[in-house]
Structure 1
Amino acid sequence: MENKNIKNPTKIWELDNEAFLQWFVGFTDSEGTFIIQTKNNSEVNFCFKFTLHVDDSAVLFLIKDILGIGVVSIKGNTCTFAVHSFQLIVEELVPIFDKYPLITHKQLDYRDWRIAVLLKNSAKNASNKKISITAETFRKIVKIKESINSNRTKFDGYKLSDSMISKYWLLGFVEGDGSFHFTNNRAIFSINLKDRQVLDAISIYLKNIPRAPIINGLYVSPLPNSIIGGKNNNTAYLLTISDTDVLFQFIFPFFNNLTFLSRKGVDFKIWSVGLFLIINGYSKIPKGKAILLKLSNNMNSKRYFSNIIEFIDIEEINALFEIEPPFNIFSKKSHFTLAKEYAIKQGSRKGYTLHIYTDGDPCKEIAGSPFNS
């Protein structure tokens, strides 16, 4: 496919067309919807759309500008990017998703949606380009409409392998379903998804991402090991990476070398500051704990302008990092060992507390947790 209608992204993003389209498909796997609308037992319309919080509208305008198609509309607290033009769907969107396959079960919705699009497109009159759908074609499209998205019960033909994942697809997907956050003074990276197979594939992919260059004396962490647990009565699964050394040496440099297009990039920047604060042990002192709480209060749903509790003070953060770090990360010791040794020096008998969570959920501890053992 020639992307002749895709404009060059702004210098801020510095993405080529190939990278953007992989990102776009990853973002679609997370946030996109393929819609079929029927009317009067004869009229069929198609729509592709994203719907986000209004504070995230910038990414939808960016998608519109780069693709050169679609309409962005704002209503209340939501913002929507939509492509309704049947001609643009046939000539622009279908070729993109044919060349860059979706990876989640959404690929099945696209497959069936595409069949319905082609059914309508085949009804074009070659001489005047008008579309006249027969009753039989209408019935076929209605049948497809009733079996996609939330109505889907059949998953035949689903294809997935970890080789299908690219770094740009993963970035787009994480900008939709990923989370950078803090729990109990620990940095967490997680992805929430109904498709367990996709999380398994992502877990394999993450084990093969490059490590940051090791500085002399820095502890060499193990490869990323994702924990995948059930959540919400197993209607969704949560992939979690919480090992501080792994986050510092693998996850941070991987995403730091990519360019976020949505406001999830703000979360990542804030999370990165917190990660550096934690790896150096500043989260063990009162000033560090206070700043980590402020960082947490400006992330994810709390970063929306209507929800921000207190703004981050950059000078306060700089002043913290001017203090000698509690941990010597160049002692060839793991973060866990440094934290334990620090706790012992502070008078703890056992040296650390034990947090136990249910089903791998880093936000839900069992009764009595944490334990001083």
Structure 2
Amino acid sequence: MSESEMGYRGSKSDILSPQPKEISVKEQRVDGSYFGFYPKLRCTLMGFERSYQVKIPSNQLNKKLFSTNTTTEAEISPWFLTGFIDAEGCFSIKIQQNVKLKTKWRVRPVFSITLHIKDLALLKSIKNNLGVGNISKSGEKAVMFAVDSIKEIPVIINHFDKYPLITQKLSDYLIFKQCFEIINQGNHLTERGLLEIIGLKSNLNLGLPVKLKEAFPAIDIKVTEVNKAEYKFKGIPNPLWVSGFTSGEGSFQVLARNRNSNELFARFSIHLHIRDLEVLKGISNFFKEKDEIKEKKVTLTEKSAQLQISKFSDINNIIIPFFNKHPILGMKSLDFIDFKKVCLILKTKDHLTSTLVYNQIIEIKSGMNLNRK
């Protein structure tokens, strides 16, 4: 599936898979976005309606089967949670055929977060802090936290009404909320209500699946244009939003300047779809201190924007102290710890003259991001 066919919000799939027809969830808590010397834009995974199998007993997690390096009972601040969901959350309306219903269609609101299984502990913390939802397997290497109960969805809505999303995902949330209000009033059980929800869904995430387009060819997709136009980036609301968003979208890397020397550098980066350029500029301005970090750190391609900070004084004096004060959560926190270890060594410059010290950095680097076990 090409970028042009995919949305840019919701959970991500691995665009580097050698078999593009098989969708696999990236180790997004482990590696952040994919960068390297040739950055590639991450795609959006929504999957099919049948992929959301939270209620199936065989997909419910047996807690004894999994272990992680992070605390399952971690307290998560509300703004951290909003930032993380701006990065990794997904708001969807599932519409499935059901001959037992008057309309012949079952409508279900679903809020979900899908992560690599290594971040099961983080999902447990999110579930415990919200007090709603279920965690289930999502393939061999992923787990999904989902809330789809009519009684529990108001908890999600109350959170985001109080601690609003600030990326383009806000548009998805507003449509999701509007659909839920129709469902909560029972109007989805009428033909008119169903058609209204389908019209709203056509502007949510990836739009309507083929099956629904064929079943409802005359749906008016103009229903939610007002909602889309309402979105405007209003700034970073709280430092903990940044740490939450970075826990989802950020990347801490150690890179070589060229292959023929021992010169290494540390880089903090965030890579987003071009539609969230203003958010990226906002993050850049948020870190700006006495004009040391400027908007010129944000670079553009045709469909993506990326913030890259690699000046060592910026890393050492601004980025590391900020995340020490407002911690990263999940497996990515281990990348940040290793990142700091490397920066302490880079500060001495001993790696330029000592093969032993250089190899020490390479060993740390080899266990970061995708290579972390």
TM-score > 0.5 by shorter chain = yes
In structure 2, C-alpha distance between the alignment counterparts of 1:258 and 1:292, rounded to whole Å? 25
State whether residues 42 and 134 of structure 1, in contact with CA within 8 Å, keep that contact through their aligned partners in structure 2. no
Q: What TM-score comes out, normalization by structure 2 length?
A: 0.68
With over 3 angstroms needed to count, the CA separation of the structure-2 counterparts of 1:160 and 1:168, relative to structure 1, is same
Q: Tell me which residue corresponds to 1:145.
A: 201
State whether residues 188 and 197 of structure 2, in contact with CA within 8 Å, keep that contact through their aligned partners in structure 1. no
1:191 maps to 2:261: no
Correspondence list, 1:1-373, <5 A = 15=75, 20-40=77-97, 41-74=104-137, 75-90=139-154, 92-123=155-186, 133-151=189-207, 155-162=228-235, 164-184=236-256, 185-194=264-273, 195-208=276-289, 223-225=292-294, 227-231=297-301, 234-284=302-352, 285-303=354-372, 305=373
User: In the TM superposition, what whole-angstrom CA distance separates every residue of 1:320-358 from its partner, at most 9, and x where no partner exists?
Assistant: xxxxxxxxxxxxxxxxxxxxxxxxxxxxxxxxxxxxxxx
Q: Highest CA radius of gyration, 1 or 2?
A: 1
Q: CA deviation at 1:177?
A: 0.5
In structure 2, C-alpha distance between the alignment counterparts of 1:70 and 1:297, rounded to whole Å? 36
In structure 2, C-alpha distance between the alignment counterparts of 1:165 and 1:287, rounded to whole Å? 45
Give the AA of the match of 1:178.
Answer: G
Q: CA deviation at 1:65?
A: 1.5
With over 3 angstroms needed to count, the CA separation of the structure-2 counterparts of 1:11 and 1:148, relative to structure 1, is closer
Q: Secondary structure at the match of 1:256?
A: helix
Q: Which has the higher contact order (CA 8 A, sep 6+)?
A: 2
Give the AA of the match of 2:148.
Answer: H
With over 3 angstroms needed to count, the CA separation of the structure-2 counterparts of 1:161 and 1:282, relative to structure 1, is farther
Deviates more, 1:275-284 or 1:239-248: 275-284
Q: CA deviation at 1:298?
A: 1.2
Tell me how many residue pairs correspond in the alignment: 269
Q: In percent, how many aligned pairs have the same letter?
A: 29
Q: CA deviation at 1:68?
A: 1.4
With over 3 angstroms needed to count, the CA separation of the structure-2 counterparts of 1:100 and 1:70, relative to structure 1, is same
In structure 1, C-alpha distance between the alignment counterparts of 2:230 and 2:126, rounded to whole Å? 30
Q: What TM-score comes out, normalization by structure 1 length?
A: 0.68
In structure 1, C-alpha distance between the alignment counterparts of 2:173 and 2:286, rounded to whole Å? 24
Give the AA of the match of 1:103.
Answer: I
In structure 2, C-alpha distance between the alignment counterparts of 1:157 and 1:266, rounded to whole Å? 38
| CA RMSD, Structure 1 to Structure 2 (Å) | 2.2
With over 3 angstroms needed to count, the CA separation of the structure-2 counterparts of 1:103 and 1:132, relative to structure 1, is closer
In structure 2, C-alpha distance between the alignment counterparts of 1:145 and 1:76, rounded to whole Å? 29
Unaligned runs of 5+ in 2: 1-69, 98-103, 209-220, 257-263
Q: CA deviation at 1:165?
A: 3.1
In structure 1, C-alpha distance between the alignment counterparts of 2:206 and 2:310, rounded to whole Å? 32
In structure 2, C-alpha distance between the alignment counterparts of 1:253 and 1:287, rounded to whole Å? 28
Runs of 4+ in 1 over 6 A off after TM superposition: 10-14
Give the AA of the match of 2:279.
Answer: V
Q: Tell me which residue corresponds to 1:350.
A: none
State whether residues 72 and 125 of structure 2, in contact with CA within 8 Å, keep that contact through their aligned partners in structure 1. no
In structure 2, C-alpha distance between the alignment counterparts of 1:202 and 1:65, rounded to whole Å? 29
Q: CA deviation at 1:134?
A: 1.1
With over 3 angstroms needed to count, the CA separation of the structure-2 counterparts of 1:132 and 1:243, relative to structure 1, is closer
State whether residues 22 and 166 of structure 1, in contact with CA within 8 Å, keep that contact through their aligned partners in structure 2. yes
In structure 2, C-alpha distance between the alignment counterparts of 1:181 and 1:151, rounded to whole Å? 35
Q: CA deviation at 1:14?
A: 7.0
State whether residues 73 and 125 of structure 2, in contact with CA within 8 Å, keep that contact through their aligned partners in structure 1. no
